[in-house]
Amino acid sequence: MTDAATAPIERTKGPTRRSIERFFGNRAAMVGLAIFLPILVAIITYDWWWGSGPNEIDLRALNKGPSPEHWLGSDGVGRDVMARLLQGGRVSLIVAVVSVAISTVIGFLVGSFASFGGRVVDASLMRLVDLAMTLPPVIFLLVLASIAGTGITPTILVISLLSWPTLSRMVRARLLELRERDFVVAARGMGAGVPHLLFKHGLPNCIDILVVYATLQVANAILLEAGLSFLGLGIAPPEASWGNMLNLARSTVVLEQYPWQWMFPGAALVLTVLAINFIGDGLRDAFDPRSALN
């Protein structure tokens, strides 16, 4: 008996396992995780290990620089910058994650119904998407923000309504190809309705698109929230967010004499967005079938 006949047969790796291995083999994605995970843990748990609250006022520490009592200094009314930085990160991430979840659901449902709903439904929904994509995003964002008002809930609503059209087109393109496959044709022939087709066949085949889109969109949503809050249209004081903390830099006095009040929020914003983009790029490469050929 030859050695080839007695050699153990290697099991073929499934697509999920290959994607996971490609992701953890991506150096940029690992750098992103190394940056983002400590930030996330600190934001979630700071109530347990940091003594000051984001709105607690220390009148003995007005505009004081970093010190043993206030590691990152204090602002003009004596609030601890470290506590406000961590609370601002929590608010920014909540707004980003919830708004992206809403826009992902909207985009998936619109794209799915367009692909499985028939010619009339497809044409109607795609004209709606075309209309949404022709609106100038910056002007549309500012108008929505001015109508909805300030606060966490209005900001989530505004951001979630801005980005779903792109996802709906990607989902529609994937499912138009899927609906011609034999198992989908057989399911429709046996009387399967649109909900069954969407969640039994459509959703599992769009997971890669949804995961990559949601990850990259979280970074974009953080920037949108920061921009709105910086302009006074997002999270309003005294609630902390990275955007309204950066708003302090509009004062020349703060910009030049108290840099710790805006430098640390700016650095946290840049590092978080950069890390999430690295992770999103790693997920996109991991789910890309062409990566297996490299």
pLDDT per position as a tens digit, 238-269: 888 888 888 877 778 888 888 888 899 999 99
Placement of tokens 């920061």 in the chain: 226
Please, what is the average pLDDT of the chain? Answer: 83
Per-residue pLDDT averaged across 101-107, rounded? 92
Per-residue pLDDT averaged across 284-289, rounded? 76
From CA 221, how far away is CA 235, in angstroms rounded?
Answer: 13
Per-residue pLDDT averaged across 155-184, rounded? 83
Task: Give pLDDT tens digits for 22-56.
Answer: 888 889 999 999 999 999 999 999 889 888 888 88
* pLDDT over 70 (residue 140): yes
Per-residue pLDDT averaged across 101-109, rounded? 92
Residue 1's pLDDT is 46
Local confidence band at 218 (pLDDT 50, 70, 90 cut-offs)? very high
Beta bridge pairs of residue 74? 80
Q: What is the pTM of this model?
A: 0.85
Poorest-pLDDT segment among 1-5, 86-90, 116-120, 228-232: 1-5
Q: What angle do CA 233, 59, 92 make, to 5 degrees?
A: 30
Residue boundaries of the structural domains of the chain:
39-44+82-288
**Tokens coding 261:** 């009040």
* pLDDT over 60 (residue 4): no
* pLDDT over 80 (residue 193): no
From CA 54, how far away is CA 51, in angstroms rounded?
Answer: 10
Residue 6's pLDDT is 52
Residue 277's pLDDT is 93
Sequence-distant (6+) residues with CB within 8 A of 120 are none
Greater model confidence, 221 or 139: 221
**SS3 state at 57:** strand
* pLDDT over 90 (residue 116): no
Of these ranges, 47-61, 131-145, 212-226, the one predicted with the greatest mean pLDDT is: 212-226
Residue 39's pLDDT is 93
* pLDDT over 70 (residue 289): no
* pLDDT over 50 (residue 9): no
* 162: amino acid identity, one letter: L
Of these ranges, 10-19, 111-120, 192-201, 208-217, the one predicted with the greatest mean pLDDT is: 208-217
From the candidate CATH numbers 3.40.50.1220, 1.10.10.1100, 3.20.20.140, 1.10.3720.10, the one assigned to the domain spanning 39-44+82-288:
1.10.3720.10
SS3 content of the chain, % helix, strand, coil (to 5): 75, 0, 25
Residue 208's pLDDT is 83
Poorest-pLDDT segment among 41-45, 75-79, 157-161, 285-289: 285-289
Residue count (the chain): 294
